[in-house]
Structure 1
Amino acid sequence: MNGVVEAANKNIKKIFRKVIDNHKGWHEMLPYALLGYKTTVRMSNGATPYLLVYETEAVIPAEVEIPSLRIIQEAELSDADWVRKWIDQLTLIDEKRMVAICHGQLYRQRIIRAFHKRVRAKMFEIGQLVVKRIFPHQDEYKGKFAPNWQGPYMVHIVLSGGALVLSKMDGTE
């Protein structure tokens, strides 16, 4: 879930950057930029964020000022017809959400398949010499000019799932 939020934030940042860089009155253009983001169909789930949150498609400002066929049709319905139409739309909401979920699952499977094409499994054996990568979030990290690797280490035990127990060259685990 965290990756999804980061991706959404990245897209919103891009939109903000374009609006701020290209317009002097960027604060007036911001609501339109956000509306565009909320009403654009996402590749990952096949639905707009607006539809998934508010359970209906957005009415864009142009449709309010210059009524579209959808607005005109809703305005000319009798109360009973409008209620019937609204109930029909409510029954379609679950179907739209299920379609979005299925689309999202298929998209996720495609991404996983593409990822697994590039990943190569590495098999380690007891006694093999390896080096250990130091990631920035680890305590051993000393800054950007420090080495990225520690070692050499010797593979002491190979656990299931690819985990390893390493020992230093003097034999301590």
Structure 2
Amino acid sequence: MICLFKYKSFSLSRIIMQGFLNPLNIMIQRHLPNLNSLYLRQRKMMLKGFLMRFPEHLSNEKQIIQLQKRLTAMCHGQLYQQRMKKAFDKKVKPRVFREGDLVLKKVLSFVPDSRGKWTPNYEGPYVVKRAFSGGALMLTTMDGEDFTRPVNSDAVKRYFA
């Protein structure tokens, strides 16, 4: 048998050919098939060890525990959201506009004005011609001229004369 292990200019094959390592060579040749089967057995043992290390019933229990923790966290989050909604809804007053109400419309143009910070924030008063259920309003001026587009009720506040 010729080995291909090399160490600089010295190779193991020269020693084997000269007969110095014949007993070692014979032992390697005898045990080489056993080492191969040992490797295969060791792989199977490693697989068994892995399965023993992480048994299926314990991993399922861990998954169930994790899912329970996630479920309780989700329930706490939903309860918190409901409490915050309830607290917010206590403070919010519904703004309902009817036909004939006087309102002021917020100035939403971004055109710079010469008056600077003293430009008015609202213009009007306008009359609500029609109120839609989604919060949109059709407005008219006091002279009776209609707006072409509806206005969102968030950009409008009631005018008290």
TM-score by length of 1: 0.44
Richer in helix (by share): 1
Richer in strand (by share): 2
TM-score by length of 2: 0.47
Higher Rg: 2
